[in-house]
Amino acid sequence: MAVRYELIKTCRQSGARLGRLHTPHGTVDTPVFMPVGTLATVKTMSPEELKEMGSGIILANTYHLFLRPGHEVVREAGGLHSFMNWDRAILTDSGGFQVFSLSDLRKITEEGVSFRSHLSGEPLFLSPEKSMEVQNALGADIIMAFDECPPYPAERDYVKASTERTYRWLKRCVKAHGRKEDQALFGIIQGGMHRDLREESARQITSVDLPGYAIGGLSVGEPKEMMYEALEWTTPLMPEDKPRYLMGVGSPDALVEGVIRGVDMFDCVLPTRIARNGTTMTSQGRVVVRNAKYARDFSPLDPECDCYTCRNYSRAYLRHLIKSDETFGLRLTTYHNLYFLLKLKEQVRRAIKEDRLLDFRDRFFEQYYGSTEPTRNF
């Protein structure tokens, strides 16, 4: 198998998993946060900076790369690793989620999805076979099955039909996947917020022997307690010896709560997207550095952080750069936010190792959110 998961231990206090993900491009300690590099770049960061902050795996988006520059260009470049000069692990999504959330005039049939490019209006088509063809050309270490992610809220009948289609589409993906020896295909469990549909989907998807499984269709607008509940229904039905990936989740609280519920891998655009708007995550909670109150604050962004940004620059300087639309400001806040989440995961792994993740959670939430209440914003 292209990717192998090694379970090292579970936390005696929380049940969380400590593990390692062995990929053709290096080994990654789990639980892990994967920065998102939509267009084969984590916006404003160089691969050297990502390595320096300790990132071993990043994500790229199939839909965006299919539209631009096109998967054939990436194939000719020798695949994503060589195209973007990143020699560590990469995961690509299937394009399904973006087709549903970004494109215009989409039409879903059993065959696949017809849609118009959100850039050019050009009519395009993605199906399980096409998604595999594109992801095989991109060449990531981990590729995702083409699924249908129902919105929230959605009618039960619709969720049921789309969840069943996701299973049929997974079987077509397995058949069409042309690089099984060096690319690991993960299946995606759907089922919306309905317990029986989630459980049925978990049984169906994990009945297909794959190197890993993901939980999709969460963090799509539902309350956080509902997401945690859906995780509690789902992860006990997933095999212990395979990695579990919760798609599109990256707020500090969910990164900890997800691990407590048995998840190993996470990705989200949140830290990089809010950074470019001047919002940062710090050990004292959220700091909106563009606010006027930081105009003469010459202290570091986060006094407890030892990242490049916090070691060298003040809140006042960051505010000035962001207010002036200076690219360097976006780079500094992005660097810090990614570093913060990667460090958070490191602390989570240490707490699992020492069987004290629940204690860590309470202390971290108290410091970050000023409370241990279960529902928070980032």
Q: Which residues bind Zn ion (CB under 5 A)?
A: 302, 305, 307, 309-310, 336
CA-angle at 305, arms to 302 and 309, nearest 5°: 75
- Contacts (Cβ under 8 Å, ≥6 apart) of 18: 7, 8, 9, 10, 11, 29, 30, 31, 349, 352, 353
Q: How many CA atoms lie within 13 A of 31 on its CB side?
A: 37
Q: Tell me: is residue 320 an annotated ligand-binding position.
A: no
Q: CA-CA distance, 35 to 265, in Å (whole number)?
A: 11
Q: Tell me: is residue 173 an annotated ligand-binding position.
A: no
Measured N-to-C along each axis, helices 195-206 and 224-234 cross at an angle, to the nearest 10 degrees, of 40
Task: Considering the complex, state which of residue 128 and residue 252 has its C-beta at the smaller distance from Zn ion.
Answer: 252
Paired strand residues for 143: 92, 185
In the complex, minimum distance from the CB of residue 333 to Zn ion, in angstroms, rounded to a whole number: 9
What count of residues does the chain have? 378
Q: CA-CA distance, 181 to 201, in Å (whole number)?
A: 26
To the query of whether residue 93 is one of the catalytic residues in this protein, the response is yes
In the complex, minimum distance from the CB of residue 307 to Zn ion, in angstroms, rounded to a whole number: 3
Choice among 253, 264, 267, 302 that is catalytic: 267
Q: How far apart are the two ends of the chain, measured CA to CA in Å?
A: 37
Q: How many CA atoms lie within 13 A of 38 on its CB side?
A: 14
In the complex, minimum distance from the CB of residue 49 to Zn ion, in angstroms, rounded to a whole number: 13
Q: CA-CA distance, 90 to 87, in Å (whole number)?
A: 9
In the complex, minimum distance from the CB of residue 340 to Zn ion, in angstroms, rounded to a whole number: 6
Residue with tokens 């988006």: 61
Task: Considering the complex, state which of residue 96 and residue 250 has its C-beta at the smaller distance from Zn ion.
Answer: 250
Task: Considering the complex, state which of residue 16 and residue 348 has its C-beta at the smaller distance from Zn ion.
Answer: 348
Task: Considering the complex, state which of residue 40 and residue 305 has its C-beta at the smaller distance from Zn ion.
Answer: 305
Choice among 87, 93, 157, 306 that is catalytic: 93
Paired strand residues for 9: 18
Is the C-alpha dihedral spanning 337, 341, 342, 347 positive or negative? positive
Task: Considering the complex, state which of residue 21 and residue 305 has its C-beta at the smaller distance from Zn ion.
Answer: 305
Q: Tell me: is residue 149 an annotated ligand-binding position.
A: no
Q: Tell me: is residue 268 an annotated ligand-binding position.
A: no
Radius of gyration of the chain (CA): 20
* 358 in Cβ contact with 260 (< 8 Å): yes
**Three-state secondary structure call for residue 209:** coil
Q: Tell me: is residue 93 an annotated ligand-binding position.
A: yes
Task: Considering the complex, state which of residue 304 and residue 362 has its C-beta at the smaller distance from Zn ion.
Answer: 304
Instruction: Respond yes or no on whether the N-terminal peptide bond of residue 153 is cis (omega within 30° of 0).
Output: yes
In the complex, minimum distance from the CB of residue 54 to Zn ion, in angstroms, rounded to a whole number: 13
In the complex, minimum distance from the CB of residue 336 to Zn ion, in angstroms, rounded to a whole number: 4
Alpha helices (H) in 150-234, listed in sequence order: 156-176, 195-206, 224-234
User: Which positions make up the binding site?
Assistant: 93-97, 147, 190, 217, 305, 307, 310, 336
User: Which positions make up the binding site for Zn(2+)?
Assistant: 305, 307, 310, 336
Active centre residues (catalytic): 93, 267
User: Which positions make up the binding site for substrate?
Assistant: 93-97, 147, 190, 217
